[in-house]
């Protein structure tokens, strides 16, 4: 060192001092790793340590008395290489991962069956939402421009709300206000007072039909999006448009609000999912895994994750990062319109041809598939399931269909695993497709 | 940099300060040092895709727990976002209502501190607005910013397996009347009709299944076809007739030519001119005799009519039969139909404007006459007029009078005879 502890220059030449100083100036920072990286490097074991570990682990099997004349050296050799020489946390081969997945045992769920059919609307039923507070009623919005409120227990019609001029595409009931919001193709978002049963506010501003609306869980704002491919944030009280979030290139199909960042998640016809940052005013992450129109996005009620549904493709994502969680077994499902998840880790996906598919949310295993019961006089082309939701308890599934009926499905409570084992768990490598 | 010698003329290293913050640790894909170097080489903020992005997290670890956000997190996000949104809203409200409020404030102040010395309270009232009224200004389309960094595409883009084949496309070609296309509002053809059509689309035998429109269209087509056929036949017949006509004309011309030829031949046969003229005269006389005989055969009425025709007049049957009578009431000078039209009956529905005639029969006679109480002079005039105009006997027709004097006429005749002129008369023979 050119500088001693007292800070005086001792016996080094001026050149040396210059070189040292310059090195300090420019390259000293590269001499040390950042703390976090250094920590992970320190935790990483050396090859020798790993070998010792491997020997420790496989000792009991070696000491065990074996009558085999030839030891399975190939297997043990590959194991040795994998465990000792390859860095940890890295998936070695596709086949091995496949083996691992095969060994999973998906959770068993009781099969679902139809319990009730409700008729009353004269157009397609485009959206359904359940009273989030008391779980006593649910609202359906239809192409016949009305919103109807039904009793969840009896299935009786409670109220018909008229006010929109075109089909109602989405409804959202607030947990913190006595309000319901409805988005319609007539470019309007209406706020309904559920104590007086009238529309009290109109949110004007969308240039085309509004496809989706959601209420922010903690702030007094709503987020809407539609055919004009932008998300709009509205102040509920003053009806003013706070913010416009452009970014999508096609109509936005679904928007959901979360209490923490990313506070808005949206999916669109341009096959992207965007996680939005309100403060920055732009998308913090764009997920491009899907290749077709993403028609549905649904949040898990008990886990911080969400699932998106595209043609032939269902995927779930971890929040807040937006990492891929599960790739569902949905290769042969066709066009999917709707999905919903309950607390019991059941994901329901409703198809455009009237098939109902039930998945285990964690493994992506399809455990039941049935086609909807046709209403008398309806055509095959009218069998699509357009919207769905579980009630707040997660025991009842409500679907709105293209044959203008609402159907309520329940789990068979008496079913046992032996009696109804469900579809077999046959994970394919295709399910790891890109 | 805390330590910087004076001798160093070089600038600070560019990334020395933020190395720790920009480097991110990738779980897979080479060693950590490689990652750091790659990160440094990459352009700022460029997104990265690695194989780990494709591998679902739950395939690595099924028991992965993802807890819901805690209340503290939610609170923190809430306060942060609330502050931001409030600032946005405040900015908006000052833009919309700020300057207006200020001016009113200053006005009130000015008025309050005016020279008059009297404080006048000024009440500021906001203009009433319909809460449901839509905004009046035009909204513009928002286009996504293009400078945004493109996210890497994480799916196969060369997927050609699901392209529809020709047969599949053909399958979708459905006649519009029985379109199976989605019908969200339930309009157009009713369900049961569509169902019956769909059940056997090839069976067209029963007309009762057909729609009214379909029947009408078929009937119209049939009528059109028939009309076309009829026109075609008519044209053919007409063509035939025209052909025959032209043939006949040709034949006549040929006959005439032949006769002229014969005539000439005959004349050549006679020895002299006198012989020939005598023969001609004889023929002529015979022809006139025939004519007279034919005229004698027809009735008197017909004879009279012919006579009138020869004189250049046209007379009605009544006159011919001597049944015509002079009008009985001499003072009726109008067409009675004018008055009777309205009164006829209810039956003349469309033409009938008034339900009863304007004048009674008794009044009709007096329309153009002075009142009965007029003086004797007018009565006399009227009686004179009516007498003069009234006709006692039948109409007598005379020869057309030129309006010349008889002497003049005589002179004209002589003149015409002198110069061989003839007055043109109607054809007699």
Residues of A in contact with B134 (CB under 8 A): 202, 204
- Any idea which of A327-331, A424-428, B315-319 has the lowest mean pLDDT? B315-319
| Whether residue A210 is found in the same domain as residue A173 | yes
pLDDT score of B325: 66
A91 contacts B28? CB cut-off 8 A: yes
Which range of residues forms the domain containing residue A406? 112-423
For the segment B182-204, the average pLDDT, to the nearest whole number, is 59
Is residue B188 assigned to a domain?
yes
Is residue A292 assigned to a domain?
yes
Residues of A in contact with B69 (CB under 8 A): 258-260, 304
pLDDT score of B19: 43
B28 contacts A319? CB cut-off 8 A: no
| Whether residue A173 is found in the same domain as residue A204 | yes
Quickly state the pLDDT bin for B23 (edges 50, 70, 90). very low
pLDDT value at A278 more than 90: yes
For the segment B326-335, the average pLDDT, to the nearest whole number, is 59
Q: Which of A21, A103, A249 to mutate to test the interface with B (most CBs of B within 10 A)?
A: A21
Is residue A434 assigned to a domain?
no
Q: What is the rounded average pLDDT for all residues in chain A?
A: 87
H/E stretch holding A39 reads helix A35-43
Q: Which residue of A has its CA nearest to B86?
A: A242
What gap in Å lies between CA A392 and CA A394, rounded to an integer?
5
B144 contacts A204? CB cut-off 8 A: no
Instruction: List, as one string, the DSSP characters of B148-178.
Output: SPPPPP-S-S---TT---HHHHHHT---GGG
Q: Tokens 């309007």 appear where?
A: A188
| Whether residue A174 is found in the same domain as residue A52 | no
B194 contacts A379? CB cut-off 8 A: yes
- Do A210 and A224 touch, CB atoms closer than 8 A? yes
A221 contacts B85? CB cut-off 8 A: yes
| Whether residue A317 is found in the same domain as residue A187 | yes
- Do A428 and A417 touch, CB atoms closer than 8 A? no
pLDDT score of B7: 45
Please tell me if residue B59 touches chain A, with a CB cutoff of 8 Å.
Answer: yes
Quickly state the pLDDT bin for A242 (edges 50, 70, 90). very high
Is residue B176 assigned to a domain?
yes
Is residue A8 assigned to a domain?
no
- Min CA distance, A413 vs chain B (Å)? 26
| Whether residue A84 is found in the same domain as residue A117 | no
Q: Which residues contact A361 (CB under 8 A, 6 or more apart)?
A: A300, A307, A316, A326, A341, A345, A346, A347
Which range of residues forms the domain containing residue B187? 166-198
For the segment B345-371, the average pLDDT, to the nearest whole number, is 65
A433 contacts B156? CB cut-off 8 A: yes
pLDDT score of A85: 65
Q: Tokens 């009696």 appear where?
A: A419
Among residues A39, A71, A103, the one where a domain terminates is A103
Q: Tokens 């001029």 appear where?
A: A165
| Whether residue A408 is found in the same domain as residue A319 | yes
What gap in Å lies between CA A409 and CA A395, rounded to an integer?
9
Choose among A272, A279, A289: nearest Cβ to B84: A279
- Min CA distance, A111 vs chain B (Å)? 23
Residues of A in contact with B155 (CB under 8 A): 271, 288-291, 434
B88 contacts A382? CB cut-off 8 A: no
Token digits of residue B105: 């404030």
Choose among B69, B77, B88: nearest Cβ to A304: B69
Peptide bond into A320 cis (omega under 30): yes
What gap in Å lies between CA B64 and CA A91, rounded to an integer?
17
Using CA atoms, how far residue B210 sits from B104, B192, B215, B217, in Å, is 75, 12, 7, 11
**Higher pLDDT among residues A150 and A331, named by residue:** A150
pLDDT score of B75: 96
| Whether residue A44 is found in the same domain as residue A172 | no
What gap in Å lies between CA A291 and CA A310, rounded to an integer?
8
Which ipTM did the prediction report? 0.77
A379 contacts B180? CB cut-off 8 A: yes
**Strands ordered across the beta sheet of A137-142:** A125-130, A137-142, A146-151, A157-162
Please tell me if residue B349 touches chain A, with a CB cutoff of 8 Å.
Answer: no
- Any idea which of A209-223, B211-225, B228-242, B376-390 has the lowest mean pLDDT? B376-390
Is residue A4 assigned to a domain?
no
Please tell me if residue B174 touches chain A, with a CB cutoff of 8 Å.
Answer: no
pLDDT value at B207 more than 60: no
pLDDT tens, A294-325?
Answer: 999 999 999 999 999 998 899 999 998 899 99
Query: Phi/psi at A268 (nearest 5 deg)?
Result: -145, 175
Quickly state the pLDDT bin for B272 (edges 50, 70, 90). confident
What percent of chain A lies above the pLDDT cut of 90? Answer: 63
- Min CA distance, B62 vs chain A (Å)? 7
Using CA atoms, how far residue A205 sits from A168, A245, A246, B90, B258, in Å, is 17, 13, 14, 20, 100
- Do A197 and A189 touch, CB atoms closer than 8 A? no
Please tell me if residue B159 touches chain A, with a CB cutoff of 8 Å.
Answer: yes
Q: Which residue of B has its CA nearest to A300?
A: B68
- Min CA distance, A71 vs chain B (Å)? 30
Q: Considering its fold, how many domains does chain B have in total? A: 1
Q: Considering its fold, how many domains does chain A have in total? A: 2
A326 contacts B56? CB cut-off 8 A: yes
H/E stretch holding A157 reads strand A157-162
Residues of A in contact with B57 (CB under 8 A): 318, 323-326
H/E stretch holding A310 reads strand A305-310
| Whether residue A21 is found in the same domain as residue A127 | no
Query: Phi/psi at A409 (nearest 5 deg)?
Result: -115, 145
Q: Tokens 């008391």 appear where?
A: A134
**Higher pLDDT among residues A215 and B397, named by residue:** A215
pLDDT value at B103 more than 60: no
Let me know if A386 is exposed, middle or buried by CB neighbors in 10 A (0-12, 13-18, 19+). buried
Among residues A72, A103, A134, the one where a domain terminates is A103
- Min CA distance, A156 vs chain B (Å)? 23
- Contacts of B337-341 with C-beta under 8 Å, sequence gap 24+, read B339/B364
What gap in Å lies between CA A349 and CA A341, rounded to an integer?
9
Let me know if A281 is exposed, middle or buried by CB neighbors in 10 A (0-12, 13-18, 19+). middle
Which of A140, A94, A100, A96 has its CA nearest to residue A118? Answer: A140
pLDDT tens, B389-413?
Answer: 555 566 666 666 555 555 665 665 6
| Whether residue A93 is found in the same domain as residue A177 | no
Give the torsion through C-alpha atoms of A91, A94, A97, A98, to 10 deg.
Answer: 180
Using CA atoms, how far residue B44 sits from A38, A105, B10, B21, B153, in Å, is 23, 44, 24, 13, 19
- Do A126 and A98 touch, CB atoms closer than 8 A? no
What gap in Å lies between CA A402 and CA A355, rounded to an integer?
12
Q: What is the CATH number of the domain that holds A202?
A: 2.130.10.10
A433 contacts B84? CB cut-off 8 A: no
What gap in Å lies between CA A49 and CA B87, rounded to an integer?
57
Choose among B3, B5, B19: nearest Cβ to A34: B19
Q: Which of B56, B64, B129 to mutate to test the interface with A (most CBs of A within 10 A)?
A: B56
B58 contacts A259? CB cut-off 8 A: no
Among residues A65, A86, A103, the one where a domain terminates is A103
């Amino acid at each position: 060192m050119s500088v001693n502890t007292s800070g005086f220059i001792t016996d080094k030449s001026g050149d040396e001092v210059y070189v040292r100083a310059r090195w300090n100036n420019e390259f000293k920072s590269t001499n040390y790793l950042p703390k976090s990286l250094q920590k992970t490097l320190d935790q990483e074991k050396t090859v020798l340590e790993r070998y010792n570990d491997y020997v420790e682990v496989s000792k009991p099997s070696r000491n065990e008395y074996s009558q085999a004349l030839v030891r399975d050296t190939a297997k043990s050799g590959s194991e040795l290489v994998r465990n000792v020489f390859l860095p940890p946390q890295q998936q070695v081969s596709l086949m091995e991962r496949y083996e691992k997945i095969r060994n999973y045992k998906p959770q068993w769920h009781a099969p679902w069956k139809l319990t009730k059919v409700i008729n009353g609307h004269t157009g397609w039923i485009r959206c359904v939402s359940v009273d989030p507070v008391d779980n006593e009623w649910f609202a359906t919005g239809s192409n016949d421009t009305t919103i109807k409120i039904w009793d969840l227990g009896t299935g009786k019609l409670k109220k018909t709300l008229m006010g929109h001029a075109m089909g109602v595409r989405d409804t959202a009931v607030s947990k913190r206000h006595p309000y319901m919001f409805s988005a319609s193709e007539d470019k309007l978002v209406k706020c309904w007072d559920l104590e007086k049963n009238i529309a009290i506010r109109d949110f004007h501003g969308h240039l085309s039909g509004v496809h989706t609306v959601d209420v922010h869980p903690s702030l007094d704002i709503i987020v809407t999006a539609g055919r004009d491919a932008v998300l709009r944030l509205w102040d509920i009280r003053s009806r003013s448009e706070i913010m416009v979030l452009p970014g999508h290139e096609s109509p936005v199909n679904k928007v959901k609000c979360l209490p923490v960042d990313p506070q808005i998640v949206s999916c669109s016809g341009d096959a992207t999912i965007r996680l939005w940052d309100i403060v920055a005013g732009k998308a913090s992450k764009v997920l491009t895994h899907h290749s077709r129109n993403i028609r549905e996005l649904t949040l898990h009620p008990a886990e911080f994750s969400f699932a998106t549904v595209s043609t032939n493709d269902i995927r779930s994502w971890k929040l807040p990062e937006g990492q891929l969680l599960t790739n569902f077994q949905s290769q042969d499902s066709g066009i999917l319109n709707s999905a919903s998840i309950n607390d019991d880790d059941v994901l329901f996906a409703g198809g455009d041809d009237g098939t109902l598919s039930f998945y285990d949310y964690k493994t992506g295993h399809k455990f039941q598939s049935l086609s909807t019961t046709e209403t008398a006089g309806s055509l095959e082309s009218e069998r699509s399931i357009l919207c769905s939701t579980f009630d707040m308890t997660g025991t009842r599934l409500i679907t709105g269909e293209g044959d203008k009926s609402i159907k309520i499905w329940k789990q068979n409570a008496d079913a046992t695993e032996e009696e109804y084992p469900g579809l077999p768990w046959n994970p394919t490598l295709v399910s790891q497709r890109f | 940099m805390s330590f910087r010698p004076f001798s160093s003329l070089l600038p600070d290293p560019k990334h020395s300060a933020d190395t720790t913050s920009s480097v991110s640790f990738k779980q897979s894909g080479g060693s950590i040092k490689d990652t750091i170097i790659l990160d440094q080489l990459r352009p700022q903020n460029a997104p990265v895709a690695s194989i780990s992005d494709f591998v679902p997290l739950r395939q690595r670890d099924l028991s992965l727990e993802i807890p819901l956000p805690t209340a503290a997190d939610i609170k923190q996000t809430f306060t942060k976002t609330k502050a931001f949104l409030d600032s946005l809203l405040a900015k908006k409200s000052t833009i919309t209502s700020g300057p207006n409020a200020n001016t009113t404030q200053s006005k009130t102040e000015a008025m309050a501190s005016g020279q008059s010395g009297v404080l006048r309270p000024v009440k500021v009232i906001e203009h009433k607005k319909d809460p449901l009224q839509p905004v009046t200004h035009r909204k513009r389309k928002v286009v996504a910013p293009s400078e945004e960094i493109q996210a890497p595409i994480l799916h196969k883009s060369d997927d050609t397996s699901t392209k529809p084949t020709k047969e599949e496309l053909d399958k979708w070609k459905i006649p519009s009347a029985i379109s199976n296309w989605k019908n969200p509002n339930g309009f157009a053809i009713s369900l049961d009709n569509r169902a019956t059509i769909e059940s056997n689309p090839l069976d067209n035998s029963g007309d009762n299944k057909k729609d009214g429109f379909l029947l009408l269209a078929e009937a119209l087509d049939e009528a059109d076809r028939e009309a076309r056929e009829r026109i075609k036949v008519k044209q053919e017949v007409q063509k035939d007739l025209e052909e025959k006509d032209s043939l006949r004309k040709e034949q006549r011309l040929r006959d005439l030519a032949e006769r002229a030829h014969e005539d000439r031949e005959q004349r050549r046969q006679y020895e002299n001119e006198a012989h020939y003229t005598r023969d001609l005269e004889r023929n002529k006389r015979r022809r006139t005799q025939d004519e007279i005989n034919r005229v004698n055969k027809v009735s008197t009425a017909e004879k009279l009519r012919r006579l009138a025709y020869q004189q250049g007049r046209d007379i009605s049957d009544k006159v011919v039969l001597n049944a015509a009578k002079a009008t009985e009431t001499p003072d009726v000078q109008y067409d009675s139909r004018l008055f009777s039209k309205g009164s006829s009956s209810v039956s003349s529905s469309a033409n009938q404007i008034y339900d009863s005639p304007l004048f009674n029969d008794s009044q009709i006679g007096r329309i153009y006459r002075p009142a009965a109480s007029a003086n004797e002079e007018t009565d006399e005039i009227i009686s004179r007029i009516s007498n003069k105009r009234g006709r006692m006997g039948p109409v007598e027709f005379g020869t057309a009078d030129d309006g010349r004097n008889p002497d003049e006429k005589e002179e004209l005749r002589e003149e015409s005879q002198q110069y061989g002129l003839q007055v043109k008369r109607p054809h007699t023979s």
